[in-house]
């Protein structure tokens, strides 16, 4: 009963000869068609397309489902919830979710097929955050590891998250001292909550967010992550004190809210993509990400010691090469899984 691992607009696991089929993090509704179960690792929209698909039988954490609804205003349908660390059976396969870091409710998925144990990381952070713990190392022997590679190239430089946060803090303090209001663009879900938690502990300032970010903040708070902020779309902004306020805006927001008219503003951008691209419309950028960087990913793979690694998303070829050359573990992009072996694969399998 061989289990086939491939990419078909999502991570596809098929057990032969009965064609039992699972799909994880499909990117289209059609990718779930014909599968016995669909798994969603976390609420970010590039991983959670299947939540509102009534035709798919979806498995996720309850928190991921709630955050998806707050992020998109769409209702999840036909969704079943797993708790971290508990083994469940889907069809006749045992499956377990373990924490992935990255954001609240994000899961790695362990599939215990008869012929192999497969771990799919989804998006992960291996660094301890304020708002989420670091990704858990599986206790099991892993035959196949499927890992994200969003920042999986050594050509991108990331300082430590702590130093990046301190740089952001210094920039905010300097602007407030000069009577400039810091307006910072960042992701609604994940980075926003981590930065709010950090600033809450470091500065006595008002933090203003838009409605969507505020709804997500409230979900974090409901799950015992203490956050303090105000929704600038709901409060009386006539009491706005620019010398004591930090404004957080959605990452794609170009136009400033009207209540900032007439004030001196300094624009900042917080995103891991700042390690790749120049955001020239902003006064300062901060390459901060809730994703693991290439060295963190390699270290993570080294701790797991899987027999084989597939990489997915972002710099998949670059990360696969790093794993092959540094750890001597057969590795390739998942999207190339059914193609001919690389020279490294051939040499490793010939030993």
pLDDT digits over 242-291, tens only? 889 999 999 999 999 999 999 999 999 999 999 999 999 999 999 999 99
What pLDDT is recorded for position 239?
Answer: 81
Q: Confidence band (pLDDT; 50, 70, 90) for 1?
A: low
Domain boundaries, the chain: 3-155+291-350, 161-286
What pLDDT is recorded for position 240?
Answer: 84
For residue 223, what are its two tokens?
A: 């799950």
Whether 341 has a pLDDT exceeding 80, the answer reads: no
Topology given in CATH for the domain delimited by 3-155+291-350: Metallo-beta-lactamase; Chain A (3.60.15)
pLDDT digits over 164-185, tens only? 999 999 999 999 999 999 999 9
Q: How many CB atoms lie within 10 A of CB 238?
A: 6
Contact partners, residue 350, CB within 8 Å, separation at least 6: none
CA 93/CA 151 separation, integer angstroms: 32
pLDDT digits over 209-250, tens only? 999 999 999 999 999 999 999 999 998 878 888 889 999 999
305, HSE (Cβ side, Cα atoms, 13 Å): 4
Which long-range contacts (C-beta less than 8 Å, at least 24 apart) are formed by 109-114?
109/24, 109/39, 109/41, 110/138, 110/140, 111/13, 111/22, 112/87, 112/140, 113/1, 113/3, 113/13, 113/15, 114/1, 114/3, 114/15
Give me the mean pLDDT over the 324-345 stretch: 79
Question: Matching CATH topology for 3-155+291-350 and 161-286?
Answer: no
For residue 205, what are its two tokens?
A: 């300032």
160 exposure class (CB count in 10 Å sphere: 0-12, 13-18, 19+): exposed
**Shortest CA distance to 42 belongs to which of 83, 102, 131?**
102
The residue ranking higher by pLDDT, 346 or 12, is 12
Q: Confidence band (pLDDT; 50, 70, 90) for 18?
A: confident
What's the CATH class of domain 161-286? alpha beta
Average pLDDT, the chain: 94
Contact partners, residue 277, CB within 8 Å, separation at least 6: none
20, HSE (Cβ side, Cα atoms, 13 Å): 12
CA 78/CA 53 separation, integer angstroms: 8
Whether 338 has a pLDDT exceeding 80, the answer reads: no
CA 178/CA 278 separation, integer angstroms: 25
């Amino acid at each position: 009963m061989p289990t086939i691992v491939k990419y078909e607009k999502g991570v596809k696991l098929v057990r032969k000869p009965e064609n039992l089929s699972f799909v994880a993090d499909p990117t289209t509704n059609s990718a779930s068609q014909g599968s016995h179960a669909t798994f969603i690792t976390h609420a970010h929209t590039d991983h959670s397309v299947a939540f509102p698909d009534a035709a798919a039988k979806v498995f996720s954490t309850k928190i991921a489902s709630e955050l998806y609804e707050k992020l998109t205003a769409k209702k999840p349908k036909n969704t079943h919830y797993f708790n971290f660390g508990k083994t469940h059976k889907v069809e006749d396969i045992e499956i377990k979710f373990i924490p992935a870091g990255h954001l609240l409710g994000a899961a790695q998925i362990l599939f215990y097929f008869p012929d192999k144990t497969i771990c799919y990381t989804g998006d992960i952070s291996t660094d301890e955050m304020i708002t989420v713990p670091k990704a858990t190392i599986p206790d099991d022997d892993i035959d196949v590891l499927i890992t994200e590679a969003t920042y999986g190239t050594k050509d991108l430089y990331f300082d430590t998250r702590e130093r990046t946060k301190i740089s952001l803090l210094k920039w905010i303090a300097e602007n407030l001292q000069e009577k400039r209001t810091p307006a910072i663009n960042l992701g609604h879900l994940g980075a926003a909550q981590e930065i709010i938690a950090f600033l809450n502990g470091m500065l006595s300032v008002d933090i203003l967010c838009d409605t969507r970010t505020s709804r997500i903040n409230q979900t974090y708070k409901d799950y015992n992550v203490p956050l303090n902020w105000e929704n600038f779309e709901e409060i009386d902004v006539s009491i706005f004190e620019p010398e004591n306020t930090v404004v957080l805006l959605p990452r794609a927001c170009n136009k400033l809210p009207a209540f900032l008219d007439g004030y001196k503003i300094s624009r900042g951008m917080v995103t891991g993509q700042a390690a790749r691209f120049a955001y020239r419309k902003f006064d300062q950028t901060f390459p901060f990400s809730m994703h693991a960087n290439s060295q963190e990913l390699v270290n993570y793979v080294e701790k797991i010691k899987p027999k084989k690694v597939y990489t997915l998303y972002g710099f998949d070829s670059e990360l696969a090469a790093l794993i092959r050359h540094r750890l001597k573990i057969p590795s390739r992009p998942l999207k190339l899984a059914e193609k001919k072996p690389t020279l490294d694969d051939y040499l490793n399998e010939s030993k």
